[in-house]
Amino acid sequence: MAANNEKSSGTVAYINARLLDPASGLDTTGGLLTEGEIITDVGPGLAKKKDAPKGAKVVDCGGKCLSPGLVDMRIEIGDLASTAEAAVSGGVTSAVCLPNTDPVIDDMTVVEFVARRARKLGLVKVYPYGAVTKGLQGRELAELGLLAEAGAVAFTDGTKAVADAQVMARALSYAATFGLMIVQHPEEPSLTADGVMNAGETATRLGLFGIPPEAEVIMIERDVRLAEMTGGRLHIAHVSTAESIDAIRRAKGRGINVTCDTAPPYFALNEAAIGDYRTFAKLSPPLRAEDDRQAVVQGLADGTIDAIASDHTPRDEESKRLPFEQAAPGGMGLSTLLAVALELHHNGHMGLLDVLKLITSAPAGLMGLDAGALIAGRPADLVLFDPEQGWKVDADALGGKAKNSPFDGRPVQGRVLLCVVDGRTVFEPGE
Amino acid sequence: MKQDGKDKVQFPHRHLLGIEGLSPEEISIFLDRSESYVDQNRRADKTSPVLHGRTIINLFFEDSTRTRTSFELAGKRLGGDIINMSVATSSVKKGETLIDTAMTLNAMHPDVLVVRHPHSGAVKLLSEKVNCAVINGGDGSHEHPTQALLDALTIRRRRGHLSGLQVAICGDILHSRVARSNIHLLNTMGARVRLIAPKTLVPPEVERLGVEVFHDMNDGLKDCDIVMMLRLQRERMNGNFLPSVREYFHFFGLDYEKLGHAKEDALIMHPGPMNRGVEIDTDVADDVGRSVIREQVEMGVAVRMAVLELLVLDSSEGDG
C-alpha cells in the first residue's frame, strides 16, 4: 500500500480522463491538475500530455472515469487499519464512522482520538459521528455542542434507535440550537423483539422471528412529527421499506427538514438472499421483500432518498458462524460500494452522474464535509474507475479479518483503478 | 410400494434436515420402511442387527425426554451403538459450542448424529461441518421432520391414505416446528391443512405455505378428519401472546363440544407432552375411540428406526 502520512508536494496532471463531477454537473473529456493536497485546475483544456505544465508528474487516465473520491456517510470502524484499506480499495476517500466504538464516541477525547488515529494511517479521511445519548443508552443527552466543536459531524446512536420519544424530541430540539443534525436508526425496538429478519413468508418458513416493516415506518412517522414540532434537523439512516420512503416523500412535500439515505443491500438484494440461513445476509435493518427493494430503487431515482452509505460493518468469523438467530447483524460494504451503486446506472435506473452524486457530493453536503467535488481549491481526493470492467465479489479477497460481504459471489461491474487522498496515491490495484 | 428388507430403497439425501423440499416418493420411502418396524417392535424380540457396529450420537442442545428416548430405542433395536450427549445451553456462546462440538464429535467417526437445538437453522449449520449423516431432531421453530413422519404414519395406518384428508392443526403455530413440518408433509402428500389459532400465535403470511387459517375452533374443525393439537409452549413466550390459560382453554382448548364440529370419526393427535386442561381436555385426550396420541409414540420408534436405517446405510457406499 502506497499510504503514508507525508504531505504530497509538487504538481500532478491527471490527463486523458472522463471527468465526472456531480457537484458541478461536469461530464467531459479532459484532465485535472493537483498541487500538493489541492485541486488547482479541472477541465477539457488538460486532456493531453502536452497540456500538462512543465515539471508536472503526468498520470494518463486512459480515458477512464475520474471523479471525486467517494464519501461514505456511515461505516462501523471495526479494525481501523483493515477498514481504511477496504475504503481506499473501494475508492472511498472520506467516511463517517458510527459512535458505537469501544469506548463510545460520547466524549470529546474519543472524537479526537478516532480522527487522529485515522490521520496517522493517511488513507481514508475518517470523521466521527457523536452519540446522541450518553453511552448510547437512549436516556441522557451527550454533550452535543462540545462534541461538535471537537469534530463530530452529526449525531446518532448508531445501530440503536433513540427509542424514547421525549429523549428524541429534546435531542432534535437541543441539536437545533447549534444547527446540528440527528441521524436516526429507524426501528421501533419494542416491535422487533426477537426478530432477526424481515417478517413474512421466508421468516415463517425458516422458523425465524420477523421484524415487521411497520417497525421502520412507525419510527419514521413519529420522528418526522418530532422534527416538525421542534424544528430540528432529522436524517433517517438506511431506509429499507416502501412505506418508509412514502412517509419521507410526504414529509418532504410538507416542507419538513428531513433527509434520508439507504445502503446498497436495500436496493440490490432482498430477503431471498438469506436462503438457507446465510448469516452474511443478516443485516440491520433486515433485507426486505422484493417490492420494498424496488421502492428503494424508485426512491433513489426520484430523489426521495438523498444519499447512499455503505453501512460497512465488519464482523469476525466467530460472530457470523453461528445459528442465524445468534449471528451478529451487519455486512461489509466499503469495497463494493461503487460497483453495487453502479448497478443503478447499468440497469438503466439512473444516469452515471446521478449515481455518483449519491456517493460523493450528496453525502458530503449532508455531513458538511469539504469533499466530493472536482473543483479548483478543493482537496485532491479522487477516484479513477472503469465503470464497465466486470469482477466477482470474493469475500476472501476483500482483505482484513472480516469477510462478511452480503455480496459475496456476486458479479459486478465497476472497478477502482486509482484512489488519491490529499494528492497522494493511496490505492492502485495489484499493488 | 412396500419393500421387503433385502431390496435397497435409497433415500437420495445425505441428511434429514426437514420435510420442506422432499417429494411424495421420498416421504413414502420412510413411511413404507417404517411399517416393517412397527411389526418388529410388537414382537417379543424387537431387535434386528441392521446397524450392527454403527455409531449413533444423540446430540441434544435442548431438553427432551421423548424424542431422545425414542431415537435411543430405535438405535438399540437396530443393533447400533447409541450414546446420548446433552449440551448445556445456558451460556450465551451457544453457537461456539455448536461448531466446536460438531468438530469434536466428527473426529470420533459417528455414522449419524441426531441433533436437537433451540435455534432454527442450527442443525443445518452443524450438518455442514461433519462427514456423517445428520437427522434434525427439532431446530427452534423451524422443523421436526421425524415428528411429521410419525404423525403421517399414524394417520396412514388408520385411514389408509393421506391425500384428500382435512387436517386441522390447532394452537401455538407461531413457535411450533411440529406445525411447520406437518404443513409441508401433509401438503406434499395431498392432504388439506387448516390452522386454528388466535391471531397472535399465527406466523405472518403462513397462508403462503398452502394452508387455510381459522381463528374459531368451531369453524376450523368443521368436517375435519384429523385434529392435531399442539403443545402451548408457554415457556417460550416472552410477550403478551395470550391473556390467560383460562381464556385460551375456553376458546382454543379441545373439548367434546368443539370436537363435535369435526367428523364423527375424527382422530385426535398431539405430539406430547400434553398440557391437560390447557390445550386439551383430559377426557378427550384419553378417549380410546378417537385419541391416537399413544399410538403416535409407538409409531415414533418405528419411524426413527426407518430414518436411521435409510440414512446410515445410504451414507456408507456399497455397504448394506
Q: Does A412 touch chain B (CB under 8 A)?
A: no
Q: Considering only residues 114 to 143 of chain B, which have any Cβ-Cβ distance to chain A shorter than 8 Å?
A: 117, 119-122, 124-125, 139-143
Interchain pair A201, B124: CB under 8 A:
no
- Counted across chains A and B, CB pairs separated by less than 8 A come out at 79
Question: Is A277's Cβ below 8 Å from some Cβ in B?
Answer: yes
Rounded Cα gap, residues B175 and B144, in angstroms: 12
Which of the two residues, B104 and B19, has the higher pLDDT score?
B19
Nearest chain A CA: its distance from B254 CA (Å): 25
Does A193 touch chain B if contact means CB atoms closer than 8 Å? yes
Active-site residues of A, by number, are 311
DSSP string, B94-155: HHHHHHHHHHHHHTT--SEEEEEESSTTHHHHHHTT-SSEEEEEEETTTB-HHHHHHHHHHH
The number of residues in chain B equals: 320
Residue A323 is nearest to which of B95, B177, B180, comparing CB atoms? B95
DSSP one-letter string for B16-73? B--STT--HHHHHHHHHHHHHHHHHHHSSS---GGGTT-EEEEEESS--SHHHHHHHH
Q: Is A318 on the interface with B (CB under 8 A)?
A: yes
Dmax (CA) for chain A in angstroms is 68
- Report the C-alpha gap between A216 and A208 in whole angstroms: 19
Secondary structure of residue A58 in the 3-state scheme: strand
User: Is the pTM here over 0.90, yes or no?
Assistant: yes
Residue numbers in A near B208 (CB within 8 A): 201, 204
Instruction: Determine which of A202, A282, A288, A326 to mutate to test the interface with B (most B C-beta atoms within 10 Å).
Output: A326
For residue A415, the surrounding DSSP H or E stretch is strand A411-421
Shortest alpha-carbon distance between residue B277 and chain A (Å): 27
pLDDT band at residue B235 using 50, 70 and 90 as cut-offs: low
DSSP for A369-412 reads -S-S---TTSB--EEEEEEEEEEE--GGGS-SS----TTTT-EE
One digit per residue, pLDDT tens: chain A, 431 residues? Answer: 444 455 666 899 999 999 999 999 999 999 999 999 999 999 999 999 999 999 999 999 999 999 999 999 999 999 999 999 999 999 999 999 999 998 999 999 999 998 889 899 999 999 999 999 999 999 999 999 999 999 999 999 999 999 999 999 999 999 999 999 999 999 999 998 789 999 999 999 999 999 999 999 999 999 999 999 999 999 999 999 999 999 999 999 999 999 999 999 999 999 999 999 999 999 999 999 999 999 999 999 999 999 999 999 999 988 999 999 999 999 999 999 999 999 999 999 999 999 999 999 999 999 999 999 999 999 999 999 999 999 999 988 876 678 999 999 999 999 999 999 999 999 999 74
Contacts of A200 in chain B (CB under 8 A): 204-205
